[in-house]
Chains A and B, each alone.
Chain A
Amino acid sequence: MEFLKKYSFSRFMLVLGLLFIYVPMLVLVIYSFNASRLVTVWGGWSTKWYAGLLDNKQLMGAVLRSLEIASYTAIAATALGTLAALVLTRIKRFRGRTLFGGLVTAPLVMPEVITGLSLLLLFVAMAQLIGWPMERGVTTIWIAHTTFSTAYVAVIVAARLREVDRSMEEAAMDLGARPWQVFFLITVPMIVPSLAAGFMMAFALSLDDLVLASFVSGPGSTTLPMEIFSAVRLGVKPEINAVASLILLVVSLATFLVWFFTRNKEEKRRRTSKQIEALERASAAVRLGP
C-alpha cells in the first residue's frame, strides 16, 4: 500500500504524458482513412488518399531524394560520430581537446536556423573562392545533415564505449594485435547495438529535417519535409495525412525492430557475463575448498 501511495502521482503523470504524446499521432492515422475531403467531417473509411499518393510524381520524387540523402547521411555520420566518440573516450589529452568536445556536442542544441544559414553562407563563399559547390542540392544537404547528425551518433556511441570492458582490448593489444585490428575485431562487435542506434538516429534526423534542407538546397532538389511543409502551410489536407501516417508507420516499425534486436543481444551478453561470473565464483570456491 505504501508503495502505491508513494508512486501513484508520478505513475499517473507518466501515463498521462504518454497519452499526450501518442493520441495526436493516433488521431492523424485515423483521419488519414477519412473518405471526406473536408478534414473535420467524418465521411466513412477509405484508402483513396493512399492510392492517390503513388500517382503524385512530385511527391514520390521527393520521397526518393530524401531516402537517398538519409542513407548517405546515416553512413557518413555513423563513421564520423564513431571516430569522434573514440577520440573523446579513449584519448585523454591532445591539443584542442576542449574545443573538440565543444564542437561535437554543440550541434545538439544549436538552433537549426543558425546552422542552416551559416552553412549556406559557407557554401556560397566556397563557390566564390574555389568554385565548389557550383550548385546546391543533394550533396550540400548531405553535408549539412551529416554535420549535425554526427553529434547524436557521437553521444550514443560514446555512452557505450565508456561501459565496454577494456580488458579485452588490452589483452588483444598485449598479444600483438594492431590498433585497427583491435578496433574492428574487439571493439566494434561490443558496440554494435549503439552503432545501429546511431545509424537509425542519423537516418531519422535526416529524413525529418526541414530547416537545414531549406537553407542549403537548390532549385529542383526539394526533399520530402520541404514538400510537406509547403502543403501544410496552407492547412490540413487528406493527402498529407496519408503521407504522414505512412512515415509514422515506417519509422515506428524500424525503431521497434532495432530496439528489439539490440535488446536481445544486450540480454544475451548480460546473461553470458553473469554465467562467467558464476563460473569464476564456483571455481574460486572449489579452489578454496573445505
Chain B
Amino acid sequence: MKTLTGLHLRRWLPKGRHALIGVPFLWLLVFFLLPFAIILKISFAEADIAIPPYTSLVEWADQQLTVLLNLGNYILLSEDKLYIAAYLGSVKIALISTFLCLLVGYPMAYAIARSSEPMRPVWLLLIMMPTWTALLIRVYAWMGILSNNGILNNFLLWTGLISEPLQILNTNIAVYIGIVYAYLPFMVLPLYANLAKHDLSLLEAAADLGARRHTTFWKITFPLSKGGIITGCMLVFIPVVGEFVIPELLGGPETLMIGKVLWQEFFNNRDWPVASALAVVMLLILIIPIVLFNRAQAKELEG
C-alpha cells in the first residue's frame, strides 16, 4: 500500500510540490533560522549609544574592509561569576523540576492509560485544558496562595501547624512549585501517548510466569516507556532552562536563572550584544537536548 501511494504521489506532486514544500520552509528559514545567524553576529558587536544600540562588524573606509569581531562579550561571560552562576542555576533548577515532573507525571499518565476507555478522553481533557489557558495567570494564582499573608500561610496558621508565616513566595521552592505546575501537562501527555500503546498481553504473560507486580512494572512497562520519558523530559527541561516568567514572579534574589538575566541585560541595561552572547551560550548548552528531542519527534511524525 505504501509504495502504491508513493507512486501516485510522485505522479501528481512535481507541479504543486515546490509550493507545498516552499511556503512553510521559506517562512521557517526566514523567521526561525536566519534570526539565529543574526544573534550570533550581534554577539560579536559592541554596545553603543545609537539606534540600533550596537556597533557594526564590517566597515569600509579608505579602501579597507575591516571586520571587527569583538570577543569582549564572551570574555565577560566567562569571567563574571554572576553569569556562570546563572547558567548553573538554570540547569540545576531545570534538572530538579524535570525529575519532579516525571515523579508526579508518570503515575498520572499510567493511571489514565489504564483507565476505562470512555474515561480516557475526559482525563486527557482535564490535563490538557490548563495548557490552553494563560501561563501568566496560572503563575499569578500561586502568588496569592504562597505569599506571607496568603491563603496557604493563613490556613497553616489556622490549623496551628506553624506559629509564624513561612516565607515561600520569592524563594526557589516557589519556583519549583510554579515550574512543576506549569509544565506537568507536557510531561503527562507524551507519557500517556506511549503507555497507551503498550501490549498488555506482555504483562499477563509475565504474571502467568509468576512475576510480581512491581517486577513486571520495572522489567517491562518502565523500559518500554523510554521513548515517552525522553520526549516528556525534553519538553520540560529545554524550555525551563530559559524560563523567565516563573522565576521573575515567584522567585527571589536567590533565584539566579539565565532567562531572567538575559531579560535584564536587554530591557534594563539595553546591552543587546551581551544579551545575544547569553542567548548563544544558552543555545550551545541546549543543542544536544534539542537534537535528541528533534530526533524523537521526527520518528513520531513520520510514524
**Contact indicator A170/B5 (Cβ below 8 Å):** yes
Does B130 belong to the interface (CB within 8 Å)?
Answer: yes
- Closest residue of A by beta carbon distance from B17: A91
- Closest residue of B by beta carbon distance from A103: B28
**Contact indicator A13/B28 (Cβ below 8 Å):** no
**Contact indicator B108/A24 (Cβ below 8 Å):** no
Cα–Cα, bound, A117→B54 (Å): 14
Does A201 belong to the interface (CB within 8 Å)?
Answer: yes
A114/B107 contact (C-beta < 8 A), A103-B29, A121-B38 known: no
- Dominant SS among interface residues on chain B: helix
Q: Mark B279-296, 1 if CB is under 8 A from A, else 0.
A: 100110010011001100
A252/B133 contact (C-beta < 8 A), A90-B9, A94-B21, A100-B25 known: yes
Residues from chain A with a CB closer than 8 A to the CB of B129 are 252, 255-256
Residues from chain A with a CB closer than 8 A to the CB of B42 are 121
**Contact indicator B134/A208 (Cβ below 8 Å):** yes
Cα–Cα, bound, A88→B234 (Å): 21
Residues from chain B with a CB closer than 8 A to the CB of A201 are 132
**Contact indicator A121/B140 (Cβ below 8 Å):** no
A14/B107 contact (C-beta < 8 A), A21-B181, A96-B25, A229-B136 known: yes
**Contact indicator A232/B249 (Cβ below 8 Å):** yes
Does A282 belong to the interface (CB within 8 Å)?
Answer: no
**Contact indicator A89/B302 (Cβ below 8 Å):** yes
**Contact indicator A7/B111 (Cβ below 8 Å):** yes
The count of A-to-B residue pairs whose CB atoms sit within 8 angstroms is 282
A149 → chain B closest CB, angstroms = 12
Q: Which of A46-54, A55-63, A104-112 contacts B (4 or more CB under 8 A)?
A: A104-112
A52 → chain B closest CB, angstroms = 18
Q: Which of B60-68, B70-78, B79-87, B143-151 contacts A (4 or more CB under 8 A)?
A: B143-151
**Contact indicator B282/A101 (Cβ below 8 Å):** no
Q: Mark B259-292, 1 if CB is under 8 A from A, else 0.
A: 1001100110000100110010011001001100
Cα–Cα, bound, A65→B291 (Å): 36
A24/B154 contact (C-beta < 8 A), A110-B238, A117-B276, A179-B13 known: no
A247/B134 contact (C-beta < 8 A), A13-B104, A147-B27, A236-B144 known: yes
Name the contact of A114 in the complex, choosing from B1, B283, B300, B303 (C-beta under 8 A).
B283
Cα–Cα, bound, A13→B107 (Å): 6
Cα–Cα, bound, A121→B44 (Å): 13
**Contact indicator A9/B297 (Cβ below 8 Å):** no
**Contact indicator B136/A232 (Cβ below 8 Å):** yes
**Contact indicator A105/B283 (Cβ below 8 Å):** no
Q: Which of A25-33, A188-196, A272-280 contacts B (4 or more CB under 8 A)?
A: A25-33
Determine the interface band of chain A, counting residues with CB < 8 A from chain B: 35 or more
**Contact indicator A112/B5 (Cβ below 8 Å):** no
- Closest residue of B by beta carbon distance from A118: B35
Does B16 belong to the interface (CB within 8 Å)?
Answer: yes
**Contact indicator A10/B107 (Cβ below 8 Å):** yes
Residues from chain A with a CB closer than 8 A to the CB of B110 are 10
Name the contact of B9 in the complex, choosing from A80, A91, A112, A240 (C-beta under 8 A).
A91
Residues from chain B with a CB closer than 8 A to the CB of A81 are 24
> In residues 126-178 of chain A, which contact B (Cβ within 8 Å)?
128, 143-144, 146-147, 150, 154-155, 158-159, 162, 166-167, 169-170, 173-174, 178
Residues from chain A with a CB closer than 8 A to the CB of B154 are 40
Does A92 belong to the interface (CB within 8 Å)?
Answer: yes
> In residues 140-178 of chain B, which contact A (Cβ within 8 Å)?
140-145, 147, 149-151, 154
**Contact indicator B126/A18 (Cβ below 8 Å):** yes
Please report A residues at the B interface, Cβ cutoff 8 Å: 6-7, 9-11, 13-14, 17-18, 20-22, 24-25, 27-28, 31, 39-40, 80-81, 83-84, 86-92, 94, 96, 98, 100-115, 117-119, 121-122, 124-125, 128, 143-144, 146-147, 150, 154-155, 158-159, 162, 166-167, 169-170, 173-174, 178-180, 200-201, 204, 207-208, 210-211, 214-215, 225, 228-229, 232-233, 235-236, 240-241, 244, 247-248, 251-252, 254-256, 259, 263
27 interchain pairs, CB-CB under 8 A: A21-B126, A22-B126, A83-B20, A87-B24, A91-B13, A101-B297, A102-B298, A103-B25, A103-B33, A104-B28, A105-B298, A106-B32, A111-B238, A112-B244, A117-B276, A121-B42, A124-B52, A125-B38, A150-B24, A150-B27, A158-B301, A207-B134, A208-B133, A210-B136, A215-B266, A244-B141, A248-B133
Please report B residues at the A interface, Cβ cutoff 8 Å: 1, 4-6, 8-9, 11-13, 15-17, 20-21, 23-25, 27-36, 38-39, 42, 52, 104-105, 107-108, 110-112, 114, 121, 123, 125-130, 132-138, 140-145, 147, 149-151, 154, 181, 184-185, 188, 213, 234-235, 238-239, 241-245, 248-249, 259, 262-263, 266-267, 272, 275-276, 279, 282-283, 286, 289-290, 293-294, 297-298, 300-303
